[in-house]
Amino acid sequence: MEKKSEISIVLSGAAGQGIQAVEHILTRVAKDSGFHVFATKEYMSRVRGGNNSTEIRISSQPVKAYVDRIDILVPLNDNAIERLRSRITDETLILGEKRYVEKEKNSIGLMLEEIAESFGNKIYENSVAIGVLAGIINADENALVNNIRAYFLKKSEEVVKANINAALKGYEIGKSLGLKFEITPSEEVKKQYLLNGSEAVAKGAIAGGCNFISSYPMSPATTVFTELSRLSRQHGILVDQAEDEIAAANMAIAAWYAGARAMVSTSGGGFALMTEAISLSGMIETPIVVHLGQRPGPATGLPTRTEQGDLNLVLYAGHGDFPRIIYAPGNLCEAYELGARAFNMADKYQVPVFVLTDQYFLDSFYNVDEMPQAKIERYIIKTDENYKRYALTDDGISPRGIPGYGKGLVRVDSDEHDEYGHITESAEVRRKMVEKRLKKMEKILQDAVPPKLFGSEDYKYLIVTWGSTQLIVREALERLGKKDVAMLHFSQVYPVPPIAENYFKKAEKIIFLEQNAIGQFANLIKLTFDGVDTRRRILKYDGFPFSVEQVVEAISKEVE
Amino acid sequence: MSSAFDPKIYDIPDADIAWCPGCGNFGIINELKTALAQLQLDPTQVVLVSGIGQAAKMPQYVKANMFNGLHGRSLPAAVAIKMVNPNLVVIAESGDGCTYGEGGNHFIHTIRKNPDITNIVHDNQIYGLTKGQASPTTARGQVTTLQFDGVMVDPFNPIAVAVALDASFVARSFSGNFQLTVELIKMAIKHKGYALIDILQPCVTFNKVNTYQWYRENTYLLPDSYDPTDRQAAFKIATDNSKLALGVIYVNPNKPVYEEQLAPYENDKTPVALRGLEV
Ligand SMILES: Cc1ncc(C[n+]2csc(CCOP(=O)(O)OP(=O)(O)O)c2C)c(N)n1
Ligand code: SF4
């Protein structure tokens, strides 16, 4: 049998059993060995117990998407196998503690607990398992030792040694199993970083000059909030855990008013409360950047699962007419770039800007090169005595001052107002102000991030995606290997970049692929362009991400 | 800088004031401008933050920076502005409905945070702008334009709540008492930390119970001998409903100020707002 250059390992067990630790260490061991890595997790909404799983792909080639295939399943408790039964095939090897796996056809039972105990404690079991897996992929021994050491750094030297020895024992066993995996290392990968979606959004925000975050915790968006808080000292970020989302959003807008670059990080349920502040931002033309990590709704929905179901919410949040910008990054680089860009665009146009991600995106990670360059563009002016906050200009953008910087007064009002910010009920002023606010849309469209085409220019079939599904569909199309199928991915979903129409016109058949129940983006395209056929839709809304295999199958049915 | 400012520097000459003749808000606006003038505060250094309501229109009529946001949301906005630029004098000003009703959660948590802001509440014990419904401070039994059978719930006691939350400065005033209100506003602005002044304000149009006369008869001035740092005494005064005390009811001078504890100000006092700008 030919040796395989790629492996998909799935670990499954209860919350609190240490799956996270295995994921953390093993992915780093693999990367430091020069292997490409991708990992993603799914978890239940509970702190202890239940059943969670992590998928780790390790490969000679870049891997950046979720697959159904399991090459090695490592169950960490008795119900793990049953929960993943549908994904187990004849090819799947089940490896783990003897009593969990012995009834399975294709399994290797190990005495992990016993081995751990021989080094002093049953809890070293996970280190043995990490070692076995590292041995199977023929990882670098030093990388294994270093990462175990780094992980247990704060523990006593005795505990560190025991874990290392337990892992080395596992490593030896793993190698001796003689499995057919041979993953080729690359020097380049060793120098790269492992980054997840949350870190990419947070670091992008910092690159865009974010210096204020107010939020109220809600999965899966809390991780971005946490990351910015962790970095607050290093980057001079003001952090406030607000009493609720209403406060958080009003704070972020007021922070921009006073001269900060502020963001909130929330999920659909939390954002629902922020919608009143979005129309405030629209009316007082004071920016806000919203990171929204989507999860399935309505209401509390599936708190720890994934969906692309909140596009309509952000598209229509707030009452009245005013412009906004919505980004939905498709990969880590885009998350970083658009995270930064959100701040520059918010500052430039004085409108709310959204960065839409989801649980799958935030919790997935892979090895990346340096992030692209991003620079901070600030548009604040020093005011003079005659400063008018809402001066009427040709492009609708009034120079924005901040209080205490210059001789002018900065006066904003949520009521309809004149150029000075004073309440008015004049029909004429009202009309002019509405037009001024909407006028910005022309320039916003010129600044639109165009959709990206993947695959041949000579396509017959066009798969249309947005946000987090980008890399899953790309891998699916590579597997499908059909020259006449291409993919158009939108990382700016609103306003829809006008250039998109050209791509639609060229296609014989357009197929929208979205992780929601009604095709919210397809509906937006229908609304934007007359005559684009948006009827074909591949939709998934069970809370779990599309897998590469599911996409291959679904697309195969649509193309000849 | 001249030795005293003329309160007129805060006037907006052609302001179209939307208050009813005789409204208690007129007293408060004069008191506020006088206090700002006596403190010699330059209008560019002051930010008035308000929600929505008759009282919340105040910043419209005062020449200073203004953030007139949403109903109930003056406090979160004020806290953020102070965090971003601690050099500014930030005054959150709104009605009793706006601050204690729609903004009740913010009222509680802003006191807990203790930012260095002044919170002036125009307490007319009624909703003015929406035409006479009960506010959180309307008395039980009072008949209103909505509560035809009289209010059926006990009123909210902002002073007692603030003392219970160990607010760093708690005072009550009456808009008809010019001198007292000016002094209390000045003290509140100078106080380091969150300062609440609940100002009793007659609504001549919709509240026919709590009139100028009623407030004069039902309030008393705290004596000079009163020690506002005594929390137990403050509680007693705050919960005594027979007569309403005016003056500084409670002070806790030892509370850390919120924005001063934040990481960006640990080694650098430059306001975050001004960093990277040519000052
Ligand atoms: C979210 C929201 N709900 C309701 C209103 C309508 N509203 C405007 S002012 C007000 C009450 C104001 O009462 P108060 O704060 O006591 O101020 P007053 O007018 O008495 O000075 C209400 C309910 C609003 N503007 N926004
Ligand atoms: S309605 Fe009442 S509070 Fe409003 S302006 Fe008239 S008197 Fe004053």
Interface pTM (ipTM) of the complex? 0.97
**How much is the pLDDT for B3?**
58
Average pLDDT of the segment spanning A379-404: 98
Using an 8 Å CB-CB cutoff, list chain B residues near A258: 47, 80-81, 84-85, 88, 273
Atom of ligand 2 lying closest to residue B207 CA: 2
Cα distance between residue A205 and residue B265, in whole Å: 20
For B63, the token pair is 């020449």
**How much is the pLDDT for B86?**
98
What is residue A124's DSSP assignment?
G
For residue A261, what are the contacts with CB-CB under 8 A and spacing of at least 6?
Answer: A208, A209, A210, A211, A212, A289, A343, A346, A347, A376
Cα distance between residue A289 and residue A210, in whole Å: 9
Using an 8 Å CB-CB cutoff, list chain A residues near B63: 409
For residue A21, what are the contacts with CB-CB under 8 A and spacing of at least 6?
Answer: A126, A151
Average pLDDT of the segment spanning A308-322: 98
Cα distance between residue B186 and residue B31, in whole Å: 10
For residue A253, what are the contacts with CB-CB under 8 A and spacing of at least 6?
Answer: A262, A277, A280, A281, A284, A286, A287, A288, B69, B77, B80
Enclosing H/E stretch for B122: strand B118-123
What is the Å distance from ligand 2's center to B128 Cα?
A: 5
Residue A442 CA: distances (Å) to CA of A311, A315, A394, A437, A500: 22, 18, 11, 11, 16
Cα distance between residue A187 and residue A535, in whole Å: 47
Cα distance between residue A340 and residue A349, in whole Å: 15
Band (pLDDT 50/70/90 cuts) for residue A113 is: very high
The answer, yes or no, to whether residue A223 has pLDDT greater than 60, is yes
Read off the pTM.
0.97
Residue type, A442: E
DSSP string over A180-234 = SB-PPP-HHHHHSEEEEHHHHHHHHHHHTT--EEEE---TTTHHHHHHHHHTHHH
Distance linking the first and last C-alpha atoms of chain B = 20
The answer, yes or no, to whether residue A210 has pLDDT greater than 80, is yes
The answer, yes or no, to whether residue A455 has pLDDT greater than 60, is yes
- Cβ pair A316, A282 in contact under 8 A: no
Cα distance between residue A417 and residue A390, in whole Å: 8
CB contact under 8 A, A405 and B43: no
What is the Å distance from ligand 2's center to B177 Cα?
A: 18
Band (pLDDT 50/70/90 cuts) for residue A298 is: very high
What is the Å distance from ligand 1's center to B93 Cα?
A: 13
Pocket of ligand 1 (CB under 6 A): B 52-55, 71, 94-98, 122, 124, 126-130, 135
The mean pLDDT value of chain A amounts to 97
- Cβ pair A129, A96 in contact under 8 A: yes
SS3 for A518-556 is CCHHHHHHHHHCCCCCCCCEEECCCCCCCCHHHHHHHHH
**How much is the pLDDT for A333?**
98
Q: What is the CA radius of gyration of chain A?
A: 26
**CB pairs under 8 A, 24+ apart, for B32-36?**
B32/B58, B32/B62, B32/B91, B32/B93, B32/B120, B32/B185, B33/B7, B33/B8, B33/B62, B34/B7, B34/B178, B34/B182, B35/B181, B35/B182, B35/B183, B35/B185, B35/B186, B35/B189, B36/B5, B36/B7, B36/B10, B36/B64
The closest of A328, A359, A332, A335 to A497, measured between CA atoms, is: A328
Q: Cα-flanking dihedrals φ and ψ of residue A108, to 5°?
A: -125, 115
Residue that the structure tokens 């052609």 belong to: B14
Counting ligands in written order, the one closest to the CA of B107 is: 1
Q: Cα-flanking dihedrals φ and ψ of residue A269, to 5°?
A: -60, -40
Using an 8 Å CB-CB cutoff, list chain B residues near A251: 76-77, 79-80
| Helical packing angle, A427-446 and A332-349, nearest 10° | 150
For A394, the token pair is 């040709």
Q: Pairing state of beta strands A411-413 and A461-466?
A: unpaired
Enclosing H/E stretch for A510: strand A509-514
Spell out the alpha helix ranges (H) of chain B: 25-38, 74-84, 96, 104-113, 158-164, 178-190, 212-218, 231-239
DSSP string over B54-78 = SGGGGGGGBSSEEEE--TT-HHHHH
Cα distance between residue A411 and residue A403, in whole Å: 9
**Half-sphere exposure in the Cβ direction for B170 (13 Å, CA):** 29
For residue A366, what are the contacts with CB-CB under 8 A and spacing of at least 6?
Answer: A36, A37, A38, A39, A62, A63, A64, A194, A195, A332
Q: Which of B57, B64, B273 has the CB atom closest to A260's CB atom?
A: B273
Band (pLDDT 50/70/90 cuts) for residue A160 is: very high
Q: Which of B57, B65, B274 has the CB atom closest to A409's CB atom?
A: B65
Average pLDDT of the segment spanning A269-282: 98
**How much is the pLDDT for B1?**
44
Cα distance between residue A538 and residue A466, in whole Å: 13
E runs forming strands in A428-484? 452-454, 461-466
The closest of A115, A114, A74 to A96, measured between CA atoms, is: A74
For residue A500, what are the contacts with CB-CB under 8 A and spacing of at least 6?
Answer: A450, A451, A488, A490, A525, A529
Q: What is the dihedral of CA B100, B106, B109, B115, to 10 degrees?
A: -100
Per-residue pLDDT of chain B (279 residues; tens, 9 = 90+): 445 799 999 999 989 999 999 999 999 999 999 999 999 999 999 999 999 999 999 999 999 999 999 999 999 999 999 999 999 999 999 999 999 999 999 999 999 999 999 999 999 999 999 999 999 999 999 999 999 999 999 999 999 999 999 999 999 999 999 999 999 999 999 999 999 999 999 999 999 999 999 999 999 999 999 999 999 999 999 999 889 999 999 999 999 999 999 999 999 999 999 999 987
Higher per-residue confidence, A1 vs A316: A316
The CA-CA-CA angle for residues B191, B194, B195, to 5°, reads: 65
- Cβ pair A438, A321 in contact under 8 A: yes
**How much is the pLDDT for A432?**
98
At A60-77, the pLDDT tens digits run 999 999 999 999 999 998
3 state SS of B38: helix
Q: What is the dihedral of CA A401, A403, A408, A412, to 10 degrees?
A: 70
Percent of chain A beyond pLDDT 70?
A: 100
Which mutation among B29, B58, B102 tests ligand 1's pocket best, with the greatest number of atoms within 8 A of CB? B102
Cα distance between residue B167 and residue B194, in whole Å: 7
Spell out the alpha helix ranges (H) of A259-392: 268-284, 311-316, 332-349, 359-363
The closest of A382, A415, A181 to A284, measured between CA atoms, is: A415
**How much is the pLDDT for A15?**
87
Chain A: residue whose CA lies nearest to B64: A409
**How much is the pLDDT for A107?**
96
Cα distance between residue A297 and residue A306, in whole Å: 10
The answer, yes or no, to whether residue A1 has pLDDT greater than 80, is no
